[in-house]
Amino acid sequence: EQKLKQEQEKDSSLPKAQTIKIRDAVASRGKRVKVSGWVHRLRVQGKDMMFAVLRDGSGYIQCVLTGQLCKTFDAITLTLESTITVYGVINQLPEGKTAPDGHELVVDYWTMVGKAPGGDDAFTNKISQDADPSYLLDQRHLVLRGETASAVMKARSQVIKAFRAHFEHKGYTEVTPPCMVQTQVEGGSTLFAFDYYGQQAYLTQSSQLYLETCLPALGDVFCLAESYRAEKSHTRRHLSEYTHLEAELAFITFDDLLQGLEDLICDTLDRVLADEPTRQLIEQLNPGFQRPQRPFMRMTYADAITYLKENEIKKEDGTYYQFGEDIPEAPERVMTDKIGKPIFLTRFPAEIKAFYMQKCSDDRRVTESVDVLMPGVGEIVGGSMRMDNMEELIEAYKNAGIDSAPYYWYTEQRKYGTTPHGGFGLGVERFLAWLLNRYTVRECSLYPRFTGRCTP
């Protein structure tokens, strides 16, 4: 049988087929090609015709099988998600007929690679759209094959490429700090602890402290690494493991920091939208997306407290937020959605922010800090200037109840040539949830981890 197959493939009356990925289909029209992939959609028309949309991760192509080709046992029992290899010529479709890229592959020969089950075990029974979200997360390995989930992952890949291109363009050095650490950055309550050869260690919450130590060696730096937060709450925007884009800049002012952030967001969007296939993915997921206008709105924390009051956005107990209180996710989102554009929320009170933040010189109660808020998601970036005075930092450890000993390497940055510096961290899944209009960050992670889920 194998020999027969080879002979058919080599049918001397047909030209030799060129192996292609579907992304190259448009450029390969009119030539005989060989394409392998998964049966994405299947439609049988009478006894003599079958349409199979094939997917190979690089695109989709409609294949038409006629005559003997759809009368074999394999053809009659063909199922969705089976893998097949097809041979034939890609022809442009006449006006009025539709298929991906406006063409179809007219098959002259095909083989089965791996048959997927039909019946109760069939693919479509495993991932029905109205299934329970938790069940669908168990089936994430199959859900990923869908048009929406795979489009999100493709867009994610392009966005990450654009972030890197932006920093490359600006001359930053990329570093890869450790994930296993013995210091905290963003408070003890969200640390994941584990045993490290008999000592307590943590999964990193942020690579910021390490990035700061790179400035004297490498200049401005960035990293794209996983951060971990033991978040106890179930929300649309919290993961236990997320991809964190962080950057650190030396010899800057707070205003430079804000400018750098605006550049990052706008330049990344420009790069992503300049790539036509990516622009189409964004249009598919978030129709009508408009890039935000520069400059971004700037609002101080104090003004946000006033805004909440004036717009009657209250706490659960019916009272208003007071200066000094944390603005939680819900009111923050109400405010951001009402304003409907990106906001740089600045100058948070020192007591509700991390220990390392630089205080404003004109008001010591507040810090040179910023959160970037986006409609639909809320906070996607947190950043600040860092304390550059050693005595002040030692005092800050004390106030936060942190033992300074394990931080000697961080403290010493202020001893051996201190400098005004600052940086930020952007949650990649949150950025994507905003850009791709996803309801939750979970859709923007390959295999999301959150309270109670560490599988598959």
The residues that touch ligand 4AD, with contacts defined as CB under 6 A, are: 185-186, 206, 208, 229, 231, 238-239, 242, 244, 246, 379-383, 423-427, 429-430, 441
Q: How far is the CB of 270 from ligand 4AD (least distance, A)?
A: 21
- Smallest CA-to-CA distance from 378 within 338, 333, 342, 345 is with 333
40/140 with CB nearer ligand 4AD = 140
Beta bridge partners of 105: 63, 90
* CB nearer to ligand 4AD: pick between 37 and 382: 382
Q: Which residues contact 296 (CB under 8 A, 6 or more apart)?
A: 262, 265, 341, 342, 343, 344, 372
Residue number with CB closer to ligand 4AD (104 or 246): 246
| Residue among 186 and 262 whose Cβ is closer to ligand 4AD | 186
What is the biggest distance separating any 2 CA atoms in the chain, rounded to whole angstroms? 84
In whole angstroms, the minimum distance from the beta carbon of 242 to ligand 4AD comes to 4
Q: Which is nearer to ligand 4AD, 60 or 424 (CB)?
A: 424
Q: Give the span between the Cα atoms of 428 and 430, in whole angstroms.
A: 5
Peptide bond into 295 cis (omega under 30): yes
In whole angstroms, the minimum distance from the beta carbon of 279 to ligand 4AD comes to 24
Kind of pairing, strands 343-346 and 221-228?
Answer: unpaired
**Least Å distance between CB 68 and ligand 4AD?**
54
Q: How far is the CB of 369 from ligand 4AD (least distance, A)?
A: 9
151 exposed, middle or buried (CB, 10 Å; 0-12, 13-18, 19+)? middle
Assign 37 to helix, strand or coil.
strand
Question: What token pair was written down for 280?
Answer: 């189409």
At closest approach, how far in Å is the CB of 313 from ligand 4AD?
21
Strand partners, 36: 85
User: Closest CB to ligand 4AD among 192 and 289?
Assistant: 192
